[in-house]
A and B are shown apart, each in its own frame.
Chain A
Amino acid sequence: MKETPLSNCERDFLLKAIEEKKRLDGRQTYDYRKIKITFGTDYGCCFVDLGQTRVMAQASCELVAPKDSRPNEGIMSFNLELSPMASPAFEQGRQSELSVKLNRQLERCLRNSKCIDTESLCVVSGEKVWKIRVDVHTLNNDGNLMDAASVAAISALCHFRRPDVGIQGEEVTVYGPEERDPIPLSIYHMPISVSFAFFQQGTYLLVDPCEREERVMDGLLMIAMNKHREICSIQSSGGIMLLKEQVMRCSKIASVKVSEITELINKALLNDKTARKAGGRCGFAESMPQERITALKTDQTSVEMTDVAETASSVFQTAEAPPQTAPSPLVPAPGVGQVGEGVRNTWGLEEEGEEEENEEGVSSGGDSVEEMTKMEEEQHKESKSRKADVVEILDSDEEEEEEEEEVVILYPETTGKAKNAGSSSGQKGAATSRKQRKK
């Protein structure tokens, strides 16, 4: 499905707000949305909420033959799926540009930086090694899928436990979880990606863009770092041109953010560990917020109240006086109500016709009931006369040579008596008046 296009006024509003350093959800320029990390019942299952963006990562393993070029190293594979439930723009099965981009970025961020000790995954050199596979599924897209995916992937890897393996001579036995406790992976460091969105050809910069901001941005810079201040990956995308100072500034901001996020991940892992040890129930179902259908409960949203009084008073001053109130409705007959007298005809017709109509309107008096009945009478008369007449199109060259008006007059000449106040027959009135002038 094609994405709904962004309207120009929405785009202008977003850009203008960014120029004034305001964001849609009230964040500061360098603020992240609220990150929530929860783990599932299985080891290696992780859900990450970045504001409304939601992704799920699952780590799994199997024994395979190693690659020929690296016989004593394990294999890591990453796969990110853009599920159609995340956004109507994502299509099942089609490998869109965004999907390729995110997959490659995730691979480069986690694999090239060697965050996992692959040599410890080797079981029998040259024959059997562990292949660790991380699948990331996007559940809801509200912008910045890359950051959410990287947090989810690394949390899943940290949480994951692989089965213990025993080697006796040639025999390799894989112990199940009941026989021997599964072993965690050996992780050197945790690379986390931070995304920066650029607007107005690089003049303005935002961290963690939401979906609306992503639509209007010019380009994106993704920096993946770990808490030891080592940069694991940099990738710029979109047709923007950056300056070296901008890249340096972004890397400084990224280091701060990454240390915060790493702490969050560690805390979540610790909580999960203690919960499991205490034997308490843990897992995704437990961590779901109490969103019951029968209850209407939302988080408190903060509203910026600075300058509200001043803005309000300035608005009052510049505003025009409110329009006159309409008269209260009259009830001429049961089931009939009337408010006002109707709008004046603005079809730009001949002034004579209008003057005549005006005169008539004035003469009929301000009494609404009389007007009503008169209109009814006139329409009645008109319908009578209509039946008798034949509709013919006026010959334009005969009589209206001087006037080049392109009015096709459907009703033939009638006597000028039936002057109707209603606008529906205004044209007829005009035609008749013109005819009379000619004559």
Chain B
Amino acid sequence: MAGLELLTDQGYRLDGRKATELRKVQARMGVFAQADGSAYLEQGNTKALAVVYGPHEMRGSRSRALHDRAVINCQYSMATFSTAERKRRPHGDRKSTEMSLHLKQTFEAAVMTQLFPRSQIDIYVKILQSDGGNYSVCVNAATLAVIDAGIPMRDYVCACTVGFVDETPLADLCHAEEGGGVSSLALALLPRGGQIALVQMDARLHQDHLETLIEAAMTACKGVSKVLDGVVRQHLHEASVHSRE
């Protein structure tokens, strides 16, 4: 997309944000009564829905059960109406399998699976509207859902996608910014310890800029974690008020 100025001279981006500003995050926990845990998260125009079932007995092949930990099973899918062009997305195509694997890897690092041997935790995430930063929004939504399900975790898992334009890192990319050949880095972080659960980057970036980019991503993730923390506390407060009445 040539000619699209991703960062103006005054430092404003396409949607009027500054370089380090995140999009507006709105989230709601406990949206489904049937599931053990569920959450709906909007980050700008990207909307994701996450549902958690578990921990429960191993379904399907018992042989895959681990004797000392729980198995985390993730499934990522995009709704057909989620992108600008309606596309039928078959389950099990390479991109969604890869995304499911990444989610699984992220949560295996964060969830305390040693407490539930021989059991399974299912995390299902669906993108309802895709406007960039799909992976990050999924991770954030799934974190809230896992917390809603009451499964113990080491820390919040916060993710953010950052890009690098004109020597400046841009936090929380939207779709237009992602598509412009910008080097984007997706990072999933456990904020308290500063531990990176997953790092993924595409497109060319000079090695010298890597450190600044990772730093920017970590700062953005810490910002997201504050928002998520606020959402969880708000939800608990509402729930306790309800139960008191």
Contacts and interface: CB of A to CB of B under 8 A. Distances in A.
A392 B197 CA distance: 71
Contacts of B197: 241
Contacts of A114: 181, 203-204
B36 interface: no
Interface stretch (A137-145, A230-238, A261-269, A285-293): A230-238
A113 B202 CA distance: 7
A103 B206 contact: no
Given A104-B95, A242-B196, A231 B201 contact: yes
Interface in A90-128: 95, 97, 100-101, 103-104, 108, 112-114
The 9 tightest CB contacts between A and B, nearest first, are A239-B108, A241-B195, A234-B201, A112-B202, A242-B196, A104-B98, A229-B207, A230-B204, A239-B109
Interface in B201-235: 201-208, 210-211, 214-215, 218
Given A100-B98, A247-B214, A238 B105 contact: yes
Nearest to B97: A100
Nearest to B98: A104
A33 B211 CA distance: 29
Contacts of B196: 236, 241-244, 247
B194 A244 contact: yes
A231 B95 contact: no
Contacts of B195: 241-243
Contacts of B194: 243-244
A248 interface: yes
Contacts of B101: 97, 100-101, 237
A229 B108 CA distance: 32
A243 B199 CA distance: 10
A241 B200 contact: no
Contacts of A95: 97
Interface in A212-242: 221, 225-226, 228-242
Interface of B: 94-95, 97-98, 101, 105, 108-109, 181, 185, 190, 193-208, 210-211, 214-215, 218
A101 B199 CA distance: 15
Nearest to A189: B204
Given A100-B98, A231-B204, A244-B215, 13 more contacts: A97-B97, A113-B204, A228-B206, A232-B203, A234-B201, A236-B199, A237-B101, A241-B195, A242-B196, A244-B196, A244-B218, A248-B214, A251-B207
A255 interface: yes
B108 A230 contact: no
B211 A236 contact: no
A236 B202 contact: no
A240 B205 CA distance: 24
B109 to A, nearest CB: 5
Nearest to B195: A241
B205 A231 contact: yes
A229 B200 CA distance: 18
Interface residues of A, number: 35
A96 to B, nearest CB: 10
A159 to B, nearest CB: 23
Interface centre among A233, A248, A255 (most CB of B within 10 A): A233
Interface of A: 95, 97, 100-101, 103-104, 108, 112-114, 221, 225-226, 228-244, 247-248, 251-252, 255
A235 to B, nearest CB: 5
Contacts of B108: 239
B2 to A, nearest CB: 13
Nearest to B99: A104
Nearest to A228: B206
Contacts of B193: 241
Nearest to A101: B101
B215 to A, nearest CB: 7
A97 B98 CA distance: 8
Given A231-B201, A232-B203, A236-B200, A241 B215 contact: no
A95 B98 CA distance: 12
A113 B203 contact: yes
26 contacts: A100-B94, A103-B94, A104-B98, A112-B202, A112-B203, A113-B202, A113-B203, A113-B204, A229-B207, A230-B204, A231-B204, A231-B205, A231-B207, A232-B204, A234-B199, A234-B201, A235-B201, A236-B198, A239-B105, A239-B109, A241-B195, A241-B197, A243-B195, A244-B194, A244-B215, A251-B207
B105 A225 contact: no
Contacts of B190: 241
Contacts of B214: 244, 247-248
A247 B94 contact: no
A233 B202 contact: yes
Contacts of A230: 204-207
A255 B205 CA distance: 13
B161 to A, nearest CB: 13
Nearest to B215: A244
Contact of B206 (A104, A113, A229, A244): A229
B111 to A, nearest CB: 10
